[in-house]
Amino acid sequence: MSFNLLNIASSGVRANSELLQTTSKNIANVNTEGYVRERTEHTTMIDNQVGKGETYRLLNQFAQEQLNRDTSNKTFFDQFVTEANRVDSLFSEDSNSLSTSINSLFNNVQESLNQPSSTVARSLVMTDAENLVNQMDRLSGIVFDQKNIVNEQLDVFTEEANGLIQKIGTLNQDIAAVNGTNNQADASSTYNERDKAIRDLSELIDIETLDGPNGEKLVFMGTGEAVVMQNGSFNLFSMRGDPDPNFKELRLDVNGGKAVPLEVDVSKLKGKIGGLLAFRDDVLVPAQNQIGQMGLAIADSFNEQNKLGMDANGELGGNIFNIPTVGGYAYAANTGSSSMTATLEAGKGGELPASDFIVTYTSATTVEIQPIDNKGEPLGTASTANITAGVIDSSTITSGESFGLEINVAGAANTGDQFQIKLNSESAANMSLATNRGEDLALAAPIRTANDINNIGNATITVGEVSDVTTGSFTTSPAGFTNGPITVVKTANLNEYTISDGVNSSTFTATSPAKDMLQQAGGGFELYGFDFDIEGSPETGDTFTLEFNEGGFDDNRNGQKLAGLQQGELVRQNVVTGANSDNHKTFNQAYAGLVSDIGVVTNQAKTNGDAFEALAQQSEAWYESLSGVNLDEEAANLLRFQQSYAASAQVLATARTIFDTILSAAR
């Protein structure tokens, strides 16, 4: 009996020693990140002895997977909001407001209308024009700096993710080596280390896990791509830009880069990497494109209107701003030797959307132009165009529209070669003034009209409207008309007029009301680049004249047109729009929309981030309630197991005493 008692006591001491070791281990690792609480359980063997204990980790797989998913969502919005808040604050500051510079420019244009011959007033306009260029450069620089920060963080995060992926693969091999052996229970630290690496990876990207055949954890991205596979094999991330090397995209290199890299659907990516990419695509790219689009629209409209006027030197106006030319980015898969550059076609600023473009060669002499959104997806229907003398513009479009682009092509291309055009995003930082001379501001109209003093009717000729100074009768050196003044005489017949420029003449019957008289006259007069109306009722013989506005330095009629650009809806909003929708906004409306969009996106991210923060906290609490160490519970277990150990030791001492007594009696 004493022998059985001795065995029972020994097994009790051993069992309680195991329980105390497990409890002590739990207490010692209470602050160890990633540690999973352990429990030792025993079975009853023969003769009521306690069998060898089995120690296992208290882990709920569903709680763990939910925590990983919620962690990915939480870190996605944490990263997005952190980055977006910075940009939102910068764009909201008055000192960075593009509207302030735009309003100042046009306010000084208005002031110059009061004294168009004042060189001081003109100089103030040019100073504000330079300030506007500098402001666009500053805003573009803010966005560019944020892009660089994003690229730097992406490099760090992808390197960190790759390290974790390799670590998980190695730990999987270690676990597979002991799976099903007597050493499996001693490998809990390896399991903890692997699960901690998986959770750390979930902070960077969203992942899903599956159990492998040998205790391994197979890891997949939320978008379905395999990251960690069986036998310790894995795929790694890389950040490369094609075609723009500064616009890095997340890719998954299959088999160590030996196979074709898989492109990752970043629109579905979560975690810190997903948050950075979403911030770049949803905030930085639209902001950069819209700043450039507004700058191009302002510069183009100002240039075109200034060219329709006459400057302080009595010459036809020229460009005030230089429109940048940008290089097209060739895709790595191109097989031809072609290259291309792009700029804005003069007078087409209102047709340019705030997007990038993909130009694809459909043959050696034809291309397809496709606008793309901030994620590279097609917008609307692609246009087709011929390449004429190395140029693609509105005159070479065969279907669709040119989107305001003027593309110059060099070299030979093969069918399928592609280029990416980023005119908007690269223009704001590269815009400059074509002149800083106030005298080059064309405030005067280049034509003037007059009623003959001997007219007896009550008709008057309007001041005239100039639409083009590059064709027709305008000359530029010195500015004037090719043939001389134009005279319009009312004939005896009803609504009949004779028009003459001293060389050419035309007699025609005007359609009432007598508007756009040169257009109605025909005979080449409709190509003169300007027109006028006759208002009222002329009498036979009444004469009206139109001539070049020589010496009209106090004239501000073209300056009024320049000032009116501020209220003109000249900034295109969407590539695709309804037939009855208003698809253009003023400069101030466009900038206000940009700032508002950044604020809305940032606030939406904050709201979503708060929701996922709460979910992550709930998942953390659920996971910790099962796998976390509770000191109160462990302290109670420690006391209970200590008392049980002491009792078993006492039984052991009693059994030894009985056994010694029996031996002594036998002697």
- For residue 240, the model assigns a pLDDT of 79
Could you count the other beta carbons within 10 Å of the beta carbon of residue 579? 4
The more confidently predicted of residues 182 and 72 is: 72
Angstrom distance (rounded) from CA 573 to CA 555: 35
- Asked if 317 contacts 442 with a C-beta cutoff of 8 angstroms, the reply is yes
Choose between 265 and 354: higher pLDDT.
Answer: 354
Mean pLDDT score of the chain: 88
Residue 603 identity (one-letter amino acid): N
DSSP 12: H
Integer Cα distance of 433 and 457 in angstroms: 49
Give the lowest-confidence range in 175-179, 282-286, 438-442.
175-179
What DSSP designation does 510 have?
A: P
Q: Name the phi and psi angles at 440, rounded to 5.
A: -80, -5
489, β-bridge pairs: 498, 543
CA–CA gap between residue 405 and residue 171 (Å, rounded): 55
Quote helix, strand, coil % in the chain, to nearest 5: 50, 20, 35
pLDDT greater than 60 at residue 29: yes
b/e string for 318-335 if b means 16 or more Cβ within 10 A?
Answer: ebbbebbebebbbeeebe
**In this model, does residue 413 exceed pLDDT 70?**
yes
Q: Where residue 257 falls among pLDDT bands split at 50, 70, 90? A: low
**Is residue 115 within 8 Å of 175, Cβ to Cβ?**
no
Alpha-carbon distances of 176 from 211, 499, 512, rounded to whole Å: 12, 98, 95
**Confidence label for 601 from pLDDT (cuts 50, 70 and 90):** very high
User: CA 596: distance to chain centroid?
Assistant: 15
Q: For residue range 354-409, what is the model confidence (pLDDT) as tens digits?
A: 999 999 999 999 999 999 998 888 999 999 999 999 999 999 999 999 999 999 99
Confidence of residue 320 (pLDDT cuts 50, 70, 90): very high
Helix (H, G, I), strand (E, B) or coil at 447: strand
Which pLDDT belongs to residue 131?
93
Categorize the per-residue pLDDT at 341 as very low, low, confident or very high, splitting at 50, 70 and 90: very high
Cβ-based burial of 213 (10 A; exposed 0-12, middle 13-18, buried ≥19): exposed
The neighbour count for residue 121, using CB atoms within 10 Å, is 21
Q: Counting Cβ atoms within 10 Å, is residue 258 exposed (0-12), middle (13-18) or buried (19+)? A: exposed
Provide mean pLDDT across the span 421-434. 92
Report the range of poorest mean pLDDT among 31-35, 39-43, 380-384, 423-427: 39-43
pLDDT at res. 214: 84
What does the pLDDT read at residue 459? Answer: 92
Which residues lie closer than 8 Å to 449 by C-beta, 6 or more apart?
461, 462, 463, 464, 532, 544, 545, 546
| Partners of 218 in the β-ladder | 210
- pLDDT of 571: 94
Residue ranges in 115-227 assigned as alpha helix (H) = 119-178, 188-204
Radius of gyration of the chain (CA): 40
Of 54, 210, 62, the closest CA to residue 625 belongs to 62
What pLDDT shows up at residue 256? Answer: 56
Model pLDDT, residue 431: 92
Residue 45 binned pLDDT confidence (cut-offs 50, 70, 90)? low
Whole-number pLDDT of residue 366: 95
* Tens digit of each residue's pLDDT (9 = 90 or more) over 77-112: 999 999 999 999 888 888 888 899 999 999 999 999
pLDDT-based confidence at residue 261 (cuts at 50, 70, 90): low
Please give the pLDDT value at position 48.
Answer: 62
Q: Quick one: average pLDDT of 210-215?
A: 86
Which is more confident, 131 or 182? Answer: 131
Q: Are 514 and 534 in contact (CB under 8 A)?
A: yes
Q: Are 66 and 43 in contact (CB under 8 A)?
A: no
Residue 187 DSSP SS3: helix
Global pTM? 0.87
Count of other CB atoms within 10 angstroms of residue 490: 23
Instruction: Supply the pLDDT for residue 649.
Output: 81
Nearest to 306 by CA among 436, 445, 463: 445
Give me the pLDDT at residue 50, please: 63
pLDDT at position 47 is 59
- The confidence score (pLDDT) of residue 577 equals 78
Q: Which of 629, 664, 641 is nearest to 57 (CA)?
A: 629
Q: What is the pLDDT of residues 520-579, one digit of tens each?
A: 988 888 888 889 999 999 999 999 999 888 877 788 999 999 999 999 999 999 998 776
Q: How far is C-alpha 174 from the geometric centre of its chain's CA atoms?
A: 43
Query: How far apart are alpha carbons 37 and 58 in whole angstroms?
Result: 6
CA dihedral defined by 55, 61, 62, 64, rounded to 10 degrees? 100
Res. 224 pLDDT band, cuts 50 70 90? confident
Section 650-659 average pLDDT? 77
Determine the pLDDT at residue 348: 94
For residues 475 and 483, what is the distance between their CA atoms, to the nearest angstrom?
Answer: 10
Mean pLDDT over 50-74 rounds to 85
**Under 8 Å between Cβ of 101 and 128:** yes
Query: What's the pLDDT score for residue 49?
Result: 63
Q: How far apart are alpha carbons 490 and 398 in whole angstroms?
A: 44
Length of the chain: 667
Strand blocks (E) in 202-271: 207-211, 217-221, 226-228, 236-240, 249-253, 262-263
Question: Predicted confidence band at 494 (pLDDT cuts at 50, 70, 90)?
Answer: confident
Domain boundaries, the chain: 2-57+628-666, 64-282+587-618, 445-548
What is the C-alpha separation between 260 and 254, in angstroms, rounded? Answer: 7
Q: What is the pLDDT of residues 509-535, one digit of tens each?
A: 998 888 999 899 888 888 888 899 999
- Give the rounded distance of the alpha carbon of 609 from its chain centre: 20
List the structure tokens of 351: 């047709």
Q: What local confidence, expressed as pLDDT, does residue 667 receive?
A: 63
Handedness of CA 369, 373, 374, 376 (dihedral sign): negative
Collapsed DSSP state (helix, strand, coil) of residue 387? coil
Is pLDDT above 90 for 299?
A: yes
Per-residue confidence (pLDDT) for residue 450, from 0 to 100 = 93
Give me the mean pLDDT over the 159-176 stretch. 90
Identify the pLDDT of residue 60. 86
What is the band of 181 on the pLDDT scale with cuts at 50, 70, 90? confident
544 within 8 A of 488, measured Cβ to Cβ: yes
| Residue 225 amino acid letter | E
- Quote the CA–CA distance of 663 and 667 in Å, as a whole number: 7
Tell me whether the omega of the peptide bond preceding residue 478 falls within 30 degrees of 0, making it cis.
yes
Name the more confident of 169 and 239. Answer: 169
* Least confident range of 3-7, 105-109, 161-165, 403-407: 3-7
SS (H, E, C) 571-627: EECCCCCCCCCCCEECHHHHHHHHHHHHHHHHHHHHHHHHHHHHHHHHHHHHHHHHH
Residue 143 in this model has a pLDDT that exceeds 70: yes
Provide, rounded to the nearest whole percent, the portion of the chain with pLDDT above 90: 52
User: What is the model's pLDDT at position 542?
Assistant: 94
Residue 667, judged by CB atoms within 10 A of its CB (0-12, 13-18, 19+), counts as exposed
